[in-house]
Amino acid sequence: MSSHCSPGGVAVAATPRIAGKISTVALIGPPNSGKSTLFNRLTGMRQKVANYPGVTVEQHFGRMGGIGHPDLTLIDLPGIYSLNSYSEDARVAVDVLHGNMPGTPAPDAVLLVLDALQLSRQLMLAAPILALGLPTMVLLNMSDLMERRGGEIDPLALARELGAPVAMISATKGAGFDAIARFLCRLSEPPEARQQPMQLPVLQTAASCHQWAAQVSTRTNYKAPSSSYWTRRLDAVLLHKIWGPLIFLAVVIGVFQVVFEAGLPLTDWLTEVFTKAGAAAVTVLPYHWLQVLLRDGLWNGVQAVLVFLPQILLLFLVINLLEDSGYLARAALIADRVMRSIGLNGKAFIPLLSAYACAVPAIMATRTIENKRDRLATILIAPFMTCSARLPIYTLIIAAFIPNRPILGDFFGLRAAVMLCLYAMGFVAAMGTARLLKSSVLKANAAPFILELPQYRWPTVRSVALRLYDRGKVFVQQTGTVILSVTFVLWLLSIVPVHHGTVAPLTESIIGRLGHFIEPVLHPLGFNWKIGIGLLSSIIAREVIVGTLGTLYGADPATQSVGLQAALRHDMTIGGAIALVVFFAFAMQCTSTLAVVRRETNSWKWPAIQFCYMSGLAYLAALAANQILSRIFF
C-alpha cells in the first residue's frame, strides 16, 4: 500500500476551538465499543439521563468525578458507525458535536472510543469525527484483550497518522485513564503546536473512509487479534442445527423458572417482614386514627406492591446477563426464522424478550430496528408481552383461586400451567396483532436483516449492578410516589363523607358509589364494584390494582380480618377471577408505556389506537372467559 493517502486526500490543520478553560466533553464511538462502561467509569456512576428534545435518543450527562475532574461535564452520545448515515442517532451526534442541539452546550473536546479488537473497521468513524476540528483524543478500548489475543498496534504511529493523541485503555478494568486526565488538563492551557496536519479522505463516503482506515491500520502496524477461540467454539454449539434451538428454548424457559422458583420465596419472605414491620410500627403510634391512617391508608397498599421487587429485579438480572454476554444476538439469529413468519425480523426478538420485564425499556430498545414500519409494529405489540407489572395480580389470583395440584410431578403444577397460559395468551395476541399490522397498515418491503454478532464476554458485575439499581430505584420511587398517593386518595375516598364523626360505610362512600355506577358494564365480566375501582386505578400502572384491592378490602369491615386472598375468594367466582387475569393479559394499563410510545412515535395517534385496541380486546376476552367458565363451574 502506498504511503500517501487516498486520492483527493487533503491536509487538515485542526484548529482548536477554545483557548483557556474547557467545560464540556463529548464521548462518541461506534455501537458496542464499550462506551457506556467507559462513561460510567469516568463519571463515577453519577449520571443523569434525559432526552434530546424532539427526538427519541436518550442523552446521558455526568460530571467527570471518576478521574478527578468534577468540574467537567461529559456527554454520552449514541453509538454510531458514521456521521452521514440518516439515522436519528447520527443526526443527534452531529447536532451535539456542532453545538446545534438546544439545551446541550457545545463540546470543547471529544473523546472518541474505538474497539481495539476491530480497529481497522472502527477507524472509519475517526475520519468524520477528526474532520470536525475539535480537540480529540482517540481511546483504544479493550486494548488489554487485544494484546492477550495476539493483536498489535503502534499507538504513537497512530497518533501521528491521526494528528490526535491516542491512549490504550480498558474501560472494564479502569486502566489507562490517567492519559485522559492529562489530555484534558493540557487543553485548559493555551494551545501550542500540538495539532499536526493529518490526511483525511475528502469525500467521506463509506468506501473512501474504509480505504483510508485500511491504509492507516497498515501504516500503524495494526494486527487484528485472532477471533476469540471460545466465541467460535461456543457458537458451534449455541448455533448448532439441533442444539441451538434446544438451548434457546431452555434459556427462555430458564428465565421464567428463575423468576418464579427463586423469586416467589423471596416475595413471601418480604411479605412476612413487611406485615410484621407494619404491625410493629402501628403499635407505637399514639392515636387510633393515626394507626388506621398508617395501616389502611398507606402501608397496606404500598406493601402489596413492594413485595414484588425481588421478582422484578431477578427478571431484569437474567435479561441483562444474557444481553451483556452476547447471547441475545445469537437468540435474535435463531429467532429470525420465526419472526419472519409474522413479518418482522430477528431484531424484534430482543425488544420483545425484554418486554417480559417491562415494556418501557423494550420500546426504547426498538431503536435498533432500522425499518420504521417494523419498528412501529414492534412498539405496538410490545405491551402484549407479559411484563413484570402483571405478576402481582397474576400471582394473587392464582394463589387465591387455583389449587396447587401437580400435573407433571412436582416440577409442573396446575398453578404454573395457568401462569404459562397467561404468558402464552399475551404472546399469541402480540403475534396476531403483528401479522394484522404487517399485512395491512404497516405493509412494507422486507427490511434487510443485518446483525452483528459480538464476541462472547463475561458480563461485568458493575454494569449489571448499575442497571439493576436503576430499575429498582424507579420501581421503589414509583411505589413511594404514584402508588402511595393513589392508595391514600382511594382510602380517603373510601371513608368520606364523614357524618357526625363516624366514617361512611364502604358502600356509601364516594368510591363505593363510583364503583356501583360502573358495575353494570363490568358485571358480565364477573367483576364486582371493588374490582371496577381496581381497574380504574390500574390505568396508571398495572400493579396498582393489588394495592387498591388491599386498601378496599382492608377498609371493608366484613373482610378486614381475613387476608386479601380469602376476601377475594369470598367475593368472586372462579369465572370472574380468571376473567380478571385475562383482562390484564390484554389491557393497556400503563401510563409510562403510553408516554414512551407517544415519545417514540412522536404523535398521540399511536398510543391512542393502542389503548383502544388493547382495552377493547381485553374486555371481549374477559367477557368470553367469564361466560364460558361460569357455565362450566356454575
Partner 1 sequence: MSRALVSTALSDLAIGSCATLATLDLPDEIQGQLMHLGFVPESRVLALRRAPAGDPTVYCVNGAEIALRKETAQFISIHSVCLAERKVTQ
* Contact (CB, 8 A) for 496 and 509: yes
* 72/606 Cα distance (integer angstroms): 40
Nearer CB in complex with partner 1: 224/306: 224
Nearest to 111 by CA among 54, 34, 190, 21: 34
Q: Does 233 bind partner 1 (CB under 8 A)?
A: yes
Q: Which amino acid appears at position 152 of this protein?
A: E
Contacting partner 1 (CB under 8 A), which of 244, 343, 426, 532? Answer: 244
Nearer CB in complex with partner 1: 79/515: 79
- Enumerate residues 6+ apart whose C-beta is below 8 A from 183: 109, 137, 165, 167
Instruction: Identify residues 481-520 at the interface with partner 1 (CB under 8 A).
Output: none
Nearest distance in Å: CB 230, partner 1: 10
Q: Does 86 bind partner 1 (CB under 8 A)?
A: yes
Contacting partner 1 (CB under 8 A), which of 1, 193, 242, 632? Answer: 242
Grid coordinates of 86:
440518516
Helical segments of 30-122, H only: 35-43, 88-97, 119-122
Nearest to 270 by CA among 479, 107, 541, 5: 479
Q: Does 478 bind partner 1 (CB under 8 A)?
A: no
Nearer CB in complex with partner 1: 200/483: 200
Instruction: Identify residues 295-354 at the interface with partner 1 (CB under 8 A).
Output: 333-334, 336-337, 346
Our measurement of the distance from residue 221's CA atom to the centroid of its chain's CA atoms, rounded to an integer in Å, reads 40
Contacting partner 1 (CB under 8 A), which of 21, 148, 232, 443? Answer: 232
Instruction: Identify residues 91-150 at the interface with partner 1 (CB under 8 A).
Output: 117-118, 120-121, 124
Instruction: Identify residues 556-595 at the interface with partner 1 (CB under 8 A).
Output: none
* 558/566 Cα distance (integer angstroms): 12
Binding to partner 1 by CB under 8 A, coded x per residue (else -) over 430-449, reads ----------------x-xx
Establish whether the linkage from the previous residue to 497 is cis, with ω within 30° of 0.
yes
Nearer CB in complex with partner 1: 1/461: 1
Nearest distance in Å: CB 38, partner 1: 20
Positive or negative: CA dihedral 486, 491, 495, 498: negative
Nearest distance in Å: CB 219, partner 1: 17
CA distances in angstroms from 354 to 359, 364, 387, listed in the order given: 7, 10, 9
Candidates 18-26, 68-76, 130-138, 238-246 — which segment interacts with partner 1 by CB under 8 A? 238-246
Question: Which DSSP letter does residue 523 get?
Answer: G
Nearer CB in complex with partner 1: 451/510: 451
Give helix 414-438 / helix 574-586 axis angle, nearest 10°. Answer: 40
Q: Does 176 bind partner 1 (CB under 8 A)?
A: no
Nearer CB in complex with partner 1: 241/631: 241
Q: Does 424 bind partner 1 (CB under 8 A)?
A: no
Contacting partner 1 (CB under 8 A), which of 239, 466, 489, 503? Answer: 239
Contacting partner 1 (CB under 8 A), which of 47, 56, 59, 82? Answer: 82
Nearest distance in Å: CB 52, partner 1: 22
Q: Does 370 bind partner 1 (CB under 8 A)?
A: yes
Binding residues for partner 1, total number by CB under 8 A: 43
CA distances in angstroms from 305 to 261, 488, 589, listed in the order given: 19, 14, 16
Nearest to 180 by CA among 68, 282, 85: 68
Query: 3-state SS string over 158-176?
Result: HHHHHCCCEEECECCCCEC
Angle at 437 between CA 432 and CA 441, to 5 degrees: 160
Q: Does 206 bind partner 1 (CB under 8 A)?
A: yes
Site residues, partner 1 (CB under 8 A):
81-82, 84-86, 117-118, 120-121, 124, 206-207, 209-211, 224, 226-227, 229, 231-233, 235-236, 239-242, 244-245, 333-334, 336-337, 346, 370, 446, 448-453
